[in-house]
Structure 1
Amino acid sequence: MRRPVPAPAPEADIDAVDQQLLTLLQTNGRASYAELARQVGLSAPAVHERVGKLESAGVITGYTAVVDPAAVGLGVTALIGIIDSDEVDDVGMLEAMSDLPQVQDCWRTAGTEGYVLKVRVTDIPALEDTINALNRVRGVSRTRTTVVLSTKWEGRHGRSE
């Protein structure tokens, strides 16, 4: 399944109430408009309108469930740095990387590695298969892999979801 590469969000005017709503939604994306309204001191319809504007402006890009990877059989997490070759084709590389369901996150970086990927797989042989697949992508010179031994937290400042 190919995941679309999101376009950068345009800058939006975000006031203190919007920022407070964003913080609350990052903590609990399932909070009701009534609950959010109570916490920011507005009416539920006003909060609904503000959240809708944040969504339309591309500030809020989606809502998701946080799933324990090990509970769904993805016991190995690794960070894979992609070192570009001279014939790098960013569009083709991004498409190829996004076609791999093991790739959960992709960052464009400065330095030796042009991209850093977070991958989640079932086991070490599956990680090896993923690395081999990435090394076959046109424009990838080589990869550098760091296996995650344990995760102390993910997400902003280790807040539990």
Structure 2
Amino acid sequence: MEEIDRKIVSLLSRNGRMSFTELARQAGLSVSAVHQRVRRLEAEGVITGYIALCNADVIGLPLTAFVSIKPFDPAAPDDLPSRLADLTAIEACHSVAGEENYILKVRVASPTALEDLLQQIRSIANVSTRTTVVLSTPYEYRPPTV
């Protein structure tokens, strides 16, 4: 990747709503050149999307937890992500090496909601769970060094 493309990706990863005018100014390019580069980076799959980050406390989901899951039957098909896809409280699903197969990042409204979600996960996926509740998050969604 060219250095100017790295600069554009870095700027957009810090502020995905930056205007093409401002992006061009900070990257040292014309607006049309930066627009072409952004579209090319999107087409090449370097930039995969733009999202709005929400304050979980404000939207009523103050409890974050990581749930490690392991199937009861190691020979069972590895279709856990698709079986759990409809549970919207699961914010992220990571396939991991180690004792567990997946680690889920979940956000819920309360300890009771977490307990209900864990029961749903166990029954839908036929897995054992190990849960770690997040006490605080000093930082999250840090932009990558490109």
- TM-score if structure 1 supplies the norm length? 0.83
Q: CA deviation at 1:104?
A: 0.4
Q: CA deviation at 1:113?
A: 1.2
User: Aligned partners of 1:154 and 1:17: how far apart in 2?
Assistant: 26
Which of 76, 92, 102 lines up with 1:88 in the alignment?
76
Q: Which structure 1 residue ranges, 4+ long, deviate > 3 Å from structure 2?
A: none
User: Aligned partners of 1:74 and 1:152: how far apart in 2?
Assistant: 17
Aligned residue number for residue 109 of structure 1: 96
Which of 120, 125, 128 lines up with 1:142 in the alignment?
128
Question: In structure 1, the residue corresponding to 2:119 is in which secondary structure?
Answer: helix
Q: CA deviation at 1:61?
A: 1.2
CA contact (8 A) 2:121 2:127 kept: no
Aligned residue number for residue 13 of structure 2: 26
Aligned residue number for residue 139 of structure 2: 153
Q: CA deviation at 1:86?
A: 1.5
RMSD of aligned Cα (Å) = 1.3
Q: CA deviation at 1:135?
A: 0.8
Q: Aligned residues: percent identity?
A: 44
Q: CA deviation at 1:137?
A: 2.8
5+ residue gaps, structure 1: 1-13
5+ residue gaps, structure 2: none
Residue identity matched to 2:90: V
Question: In structure 2, the residue corresponding to 1:83 is in which secondary structure?
Answer: strand
